[in-house]
């Protein structure tokens, strides 16, 4: 579809010339934003023809892992600091989920190669990662046997040689998320057991609170955490309905926020709540899903709050399937935007059954990105960009084809070099009767035209 400039006639201009103007305008704004200059101007209201999407660079990290090696997109398993890029995944598992071989990998060359920094076999899922301004790495995970939550601290001053371990008994479950709150000196961990834990940066447990409990219909499942520059911690989750007979259903998606790093909790509108809070529609949290989306099954792929707007990407298994990007105003709790049943740019349409949102928290303004895999075959990684905080979306990047990308996830924060970084598992068909295998890939997407490329 050809887009024409609105409010201005560009006589004699080809689509290529218009595309070049639009791209130059976007790069200028992106450059100012990443360098820390405030974006107090509005993007030009002209709508130009779309530029061709840029490429997505990938690196094969593990050629022989399980199909759920990067399970799942609700939490952050790739981070970057001045020492390099860190990534986690699970390589093997047993049927009883009591012996999963997992790895923490480290790239010192911008993602060209990865070396195993730490490896162990535990009853766990892929650990979640955070890193601080001192380049320390925080790794959180559950233990399914004893139901403990474990925080591993890998210290930069020790060259990450030996993890320092903190254990919180009887608080674990298999879906979890984590967020660094460095100004308050803490790392927050939120599990679908309902427990919310605050660790000090020294590993000490500051508090452990039962935040959620089963509601009248459903129980909490996949959790999400993200922190905004003003210090507000946003928590979201998918709830799960398990009937006495029949198949379980992802039942609804909900949100809470904390203005003080998890000490107290409230709704968008500021209604103060007392934990434990019912995790479904019978409780007081803000519901993100629509009234007709209970029984079709809905699952929150990712959530991110930016410049006073809370963004959620999720799929609803209605007929036809709805691919949602939803934007709420944080101050009022008003549902402002809903891109559904399709989330697309000019040529790229995304399946948000998994995927993640990325931006920068260093300054206000600047673009928002959503990364996932394409909605139709041949399957590729795709990236959409919004220059107006989610009001409109445009093509940004697309990859080569993959067999079946699964659990496309990544870092919430765009790197200082101007890169989106993430990982996914490419599912490979196995011998009939055997478990499907997977290949773990790291990927990166340039936000700026002069962002560094993976070294050859």
Distances (CA, A) of 454 to 61, 109, 223: 14, 8, 32
What are the tens digits of pLDDT across the range 144-173? 999 999 999 999 999 999 999 999 999 999
What are the tens digits of pLDDT across the range 341-365? 999 999 999 999 999 999 997 778 8
Q: What is the mean pLDDT of the chain?
A: 90
Q: Are strands 100-107 and 84-92 parallel, antiparallel or unpaired?
A: antiparallel
Nearest to 128 by CA among 169, 172, 170, 92: 172
On the 0-12 / 13-18 / 19+ scale of CB atoms within 10 A, 60 is exposed
Q: Is the pLDDT of residue 8 over 50?
A: no
Q: Which residues contact 434 (CB under 8 A, 6 or more apart)?
A: none
The pLDDT value recorded for residue 412 is 98
Query: How far is 359 from 381, CA to CA, in rounded Å?
Result: 18
**Per-residue pLDDT band at 46 (split at 50, 70, 90):** very low
The pLDDT value recorded for residue 1 is 32
Q: Which residues contact 211 (CB under 8 A, 6 or more apart)?
A: 190, 194, 195, 196, 235, 256, 265, 275, 276, 277
Taking the alpha carbons at both ends of the chain, their separation in whole angstroms is 37
The pLDDT value recorded for residue 194 is 98
- Average pLDDT for residues 278-288, to the nearest whole number? 98
The model carries a pTM of 0.90
- Average pLDDT for residues 58-75, to the nearest whole number? 97
Query: How far is 273 from 190, CA to CA, in rounded Å?
Result: 17
The pLDDT value recorded for residue 23 is 53
What are the tens digits of pLDDT across the range 292-325? 999 999 999 999 999 999 999 999 999 999 999 9
**Per-residue pLDDT band at 12 (split at 50, 70, 90):** very low
Nearest to 104 by CA among 125, 89, 123, 84: 89
Q: Is the pLDDT of residue 131 over 90?
A: yes
Q: Indicate the fold that domain 53-446 takes in CATH.
A: Neuraminidase (2.120.10)
Query: How far is 126 from 161, CA to CA, in rounded Å?
Result: 20
- Average pLDDT for residues 315-338, to the nearest whole number? 97
Query: What is the b/e burial string over 369-389, where b = at least 16 CB atoms within 10 angstroms of the residue's CB?
Result: bbbbbbbeeebbbbbbbbbeb
DSSP 307: T
Looking at 41-50, 291-300, 366-375, 412-421, which range is the least confident one?
41-50
Q: How far is CA 226 from the centre of its chain?
A: 9
Q: Omega into 173 within 30° of 0, i.e. cis? A: no
CB-side exposure of 339: number of CA atoms within 13 Å?
23
The percent of residues above 70 in pLDDT, for the chain, comes to 88
**Per-residue pLDDT band at 185 (split at 50, 70, 90):** very high
The pLDDT value recorded for residue 44 is 37
What is the radius of gyration, based on Cα positions, of the chain?
Answer: 21
Q: Is the pLDDT of residue 374 over 90?
A: yes
The pLDDT value recorded for residue 39 is 45
Q: Is the pLDDT of residue 15 over 60?
A: no
- Average pLDDT for residues 420-443, to the nearest whole number? 88
CB-side exposure of 359: number of CA atoms within 13 Å?
29
Query: How far is 151 from 403, CA to CA, in rounded Å?
Result: 34
What are the tens digits of pLDDT across the range 212-250? 999 999 999 999 999 999 999 999 999 999 998 888 999
C-beta of residue 130 within 8 angstroms of C-beta of residue 178: yes
**Per-residue pLDDT band at 10 (split at 50, 70, 90):** very low
Other Cβ atoms closer than 10 A to 436: 15
DSSP letters for 1-38:
-----SS---TT--HHHHHHHHHHHHHHHHHHHHTT--
DSSP 128: E
- Average pLDDT for residues 65-70, to the nearest whole number? 96
On the 0-12 / 13-18 / 19+ scale of CB atoms within 10 A, 232 is middle
């Amino acid at each position: 579809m050809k887009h024409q400039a609105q409010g201005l006639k560009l006589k004699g201009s080809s689509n290529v010339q218009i595309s070049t103007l639009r791209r130059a305008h976007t790069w200028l704004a992106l450059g100012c934003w990443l360098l820390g200059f405030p974006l107090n101007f509005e993007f030009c209201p002209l709508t130009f023809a779309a530029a061709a999407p840029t490429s997505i660079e990938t690196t094969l990290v593990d050629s022989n892992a399980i199909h759920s090696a990067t399970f799942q997109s609700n939490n952050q398993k790739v981070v970057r600091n001045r020492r390099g890029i860190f990534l986690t995944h699970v390589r093997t598992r047993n049927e009883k989920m009591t012996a999963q071989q997992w790895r923490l990998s480290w790239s010192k060359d911008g993602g060209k190669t990865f070396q195993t920094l730490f490896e162990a076999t535990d009853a766990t899922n892929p650990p979640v990662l955070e890193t601080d301004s001192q380049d320390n790495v925080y790794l959180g995970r559950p233990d399914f046997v004893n139901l403990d939550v474990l925080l591993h601290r890998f210290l930069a001053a020790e060259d990450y040689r030996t993890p320092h371990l903190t254990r919180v008994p009887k608080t674990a479950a298999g879906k979890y998320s984590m967020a660094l709150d460095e100004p308050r000196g803490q790392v927050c961990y939120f599990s679908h057991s309902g427990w919310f834990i605050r660790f000090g940066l020294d590993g000490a447990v500051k508090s452990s609170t039962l935040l959620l409990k089963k509601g009248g219909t459903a129980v909490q499942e996949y959790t999400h955490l993200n922190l905004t520059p003003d210090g507000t911690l946003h928590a979201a989750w998918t709830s799960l309905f398990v009937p006495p007979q029949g198949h379980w259903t992802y039942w609804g998606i909900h949100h809470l926020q904390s203005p003080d790093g998890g000490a107290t909790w409230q709704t968008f509108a500021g209604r103060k709540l007392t934990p434990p809070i019912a995790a479904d529609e019978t409780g007081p949290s803000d519901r993100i899903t629509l009234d007709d989306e209970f029984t079709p099954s809905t699952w929150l792929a990712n959530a991110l709050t930016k410049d006073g707007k809370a963004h959620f990407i999720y799929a609803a298994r209605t007929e036809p399937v709805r691919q949602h990007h939803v934007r709420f105003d944080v101050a009022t709790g008003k549902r402002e935007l809903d891109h559904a049943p399709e989330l697309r740019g000019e040529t790229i349409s995304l399946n948000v059954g998994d995927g993640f949102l990325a931006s920068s928290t260093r300054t206000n303004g600047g673009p928002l990105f959503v990364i996932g895999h394409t909605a139709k075959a041949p399957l590729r990684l795709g990236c959409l960009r919004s220059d107006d905080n989610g009001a409109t979306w445009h093509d940004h990047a697309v990859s080569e084809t993959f067999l079946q990308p699964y659990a496309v996830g990544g870092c919430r924060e765009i790197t200082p070099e101007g890169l989106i970084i993430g990982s996914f598992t490419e599912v490979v068909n196995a011998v009939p009767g055997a478990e499907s295998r997977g290949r773990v890939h790291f990927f990166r997407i340039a936000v700026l035209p002069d962002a560094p490329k993976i070294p050859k």
